[in-house]
């Protein structure tokens, strides 16, 4: 892996099953997949530390073909979810466990120089508190709380409290939550209030996703950008795309512009299955906002 990166991502790739109206297909997934592609297509140098069954490593070929450095460690199975949707409402889904690749120990994470380390687990248990703390000594941390509160219980994945949250969030710079997670953690459905509560634990910037928009809380101010997809064919991976496009953009821009870029990129991603293509429709969005032309 290159010794100098813009972003190092740490988390499992996923071997997911997507079920829509009873029709099932297999798909790669996880934030390292959806988000790694976003970061690279925004022009950044990206590394990924991940873990899974070697029989599934071919799913990562798409990443290496884009010039992403991928460090893989073997596990007896790959992580993944079964995401069950009804086409009439792609916003709601049932998520079941499809496998778990186990903990990523600190020793398996390359000690490289990075401007940001993104901890993006799929399922609780991938990253421990001691590993989080040690990584925070290397670079600012961006963290998706999903991988700490989504707990496997049999074949189900359920929200459960993150017992180390108060200590863990002290070491986080960028925190990503979705609406359901924010309500679960803070006990309020007022998302601005929830963002302030979460910031009180230590993170400097909160990125909160919901159906119609991304809400960012940074430097005591709120920023919003709408999601306006023409379809939700690419609904899976929305949050992964949003947090990576935001954090990647923050390496160059202020929170207001980074929020706007995240809204545009996430809108486009939701219209197509798979990761963001890197294309912006000039009739709908100003390409210069994203690419700085």
Say how many CA atoms lie within 13 Å of 63 toward its Cβ.
29
| Closest to 120 in 3D by CA, of 215, 37, 41 | 37
Residue 178 to residue 207: CA distance in whole angstroms: 8
Beta carbons within 10 angstroms of residue 243's beta carbon: 30
The topology (CATH level 3) of 4-291 is 3.40.1190
pLDDT at 20: 84
In order of 84, 122, 124, the CA distances from 145 in angstroms are 22, 9, 9
Token readout for 94 is 């049932």
What residue ranges in 33-127 does DSSP mark as E strands? 46-52, 69-74, 80-86, 89-99, 113-119
Burial class (CB in 10 A: 0-12, 13-18, 19+), 233: middle
Residue 57 to residue 54: CA distance in whole angstroms: 5
Eight-state DSSP code of residue 42: T
Dihedral sign computed on CA atoms, order 33, 202, 196, 257:
negative
Q: Which residues of 77-111 are buried (b: 16+ CB within 10 A; e: fewer)?
A: ebbbbbbbbeeeebeebeebbbbbbbebebeebbe
Residue 273 to residue 277: CA distance in whole angstroms: 10
- How many DSSP H helices and E strands does the chain contain? 10, 15
| Closest to 81 in 3D by CA, of 135, 150, 138 | 150
- Helices marked H in 50-128: 61-65
3-class state of residue 247 by DSSP? helix
Q: 208 and 178 in contact (C-beta within 8 Å)?
A: yes
Q: 212 and 245 in contact (C-beta within 8 Å)?
A: no
Q: pLDDT 10s digit of each residue in the chain, 293 long?
A: 888 999 999 999 999 888 888 888 888 999 999 999 999 999 999 999 999 999 999 999 999 999 999 999 999 999 998 888 876 666 677 888 989 999 999 999 999 999 999 999 999 999 999 999 999 999 999 999 999 999 999 988 888 999 999 999 999 999 999 999 999 999 999 999 999 999 999 999 999 999 899 999 999 999 999 999 999 888 889 999 999 999 999 999 999 999 999 999 999 999 998 999 999 988 899 988 888 87
pLDDT at 99: 93
pLDDT at 88: 65
């Amino acid at each position: 892996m290159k010794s100098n990166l813009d972003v190092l991502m740490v988390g499992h790739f996923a071997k997911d099953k997507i079920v829509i109206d009873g029709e099932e297909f297999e798909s790669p997934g996880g934030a390292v997949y959806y988000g790694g592609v976003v970061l690279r297509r925004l022009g950044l140098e990206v590394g990924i530390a991940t873990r899974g069954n070697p029989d599934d490593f071919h799913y990562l070929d798409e990443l290496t073909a884009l010039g992403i450095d991928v460090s893989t460690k073997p596990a007896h199975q790959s992580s993944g979810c079964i995401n069950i949707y009804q086409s009439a409402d792609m916003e709601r889904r049932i998520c079941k466990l499809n496998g778990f690749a186990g903990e990523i120990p600190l020793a398996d994470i390359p000690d490289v120089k990075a401007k940001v380390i993104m901890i993006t687990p799929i399922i609780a248990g991938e990253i421990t508190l001691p590993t989080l703390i040690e990584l925070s000594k290397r670079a600012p941390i961006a963290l998706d709380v999903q991988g700490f509160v989504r707990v496997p219980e049999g074949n189900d994945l359920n929200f459960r409290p993150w017992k180390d949250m108060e200590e863990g969030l002290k070491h986080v710079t960028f925190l990503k939550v979705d609406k359901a997670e924010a309500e679960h953690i803070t006990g309020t459905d007022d998302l601005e209030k929830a963002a302030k509560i979460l910031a009180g634990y230590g993170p400097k910037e909160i990125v909160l996703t919901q159906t119609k928009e991304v809400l960012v809380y940074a430097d005591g101010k709120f920023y919003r950008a709408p999601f306006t997809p023409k379809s939700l064919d690419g609904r899976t991976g929305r949050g992964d795309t949003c947090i990576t496009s935001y954090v990647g953009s923050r390496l160059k821009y202020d929170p207001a512009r980074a929020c706007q870029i995240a809204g545009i990129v996430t809108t486009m991603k939701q219209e197509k299955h798979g990761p963001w293509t890197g294309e912006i429709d000039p009739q709908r969005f100003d390409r210069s906002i994203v690419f700085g032309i």
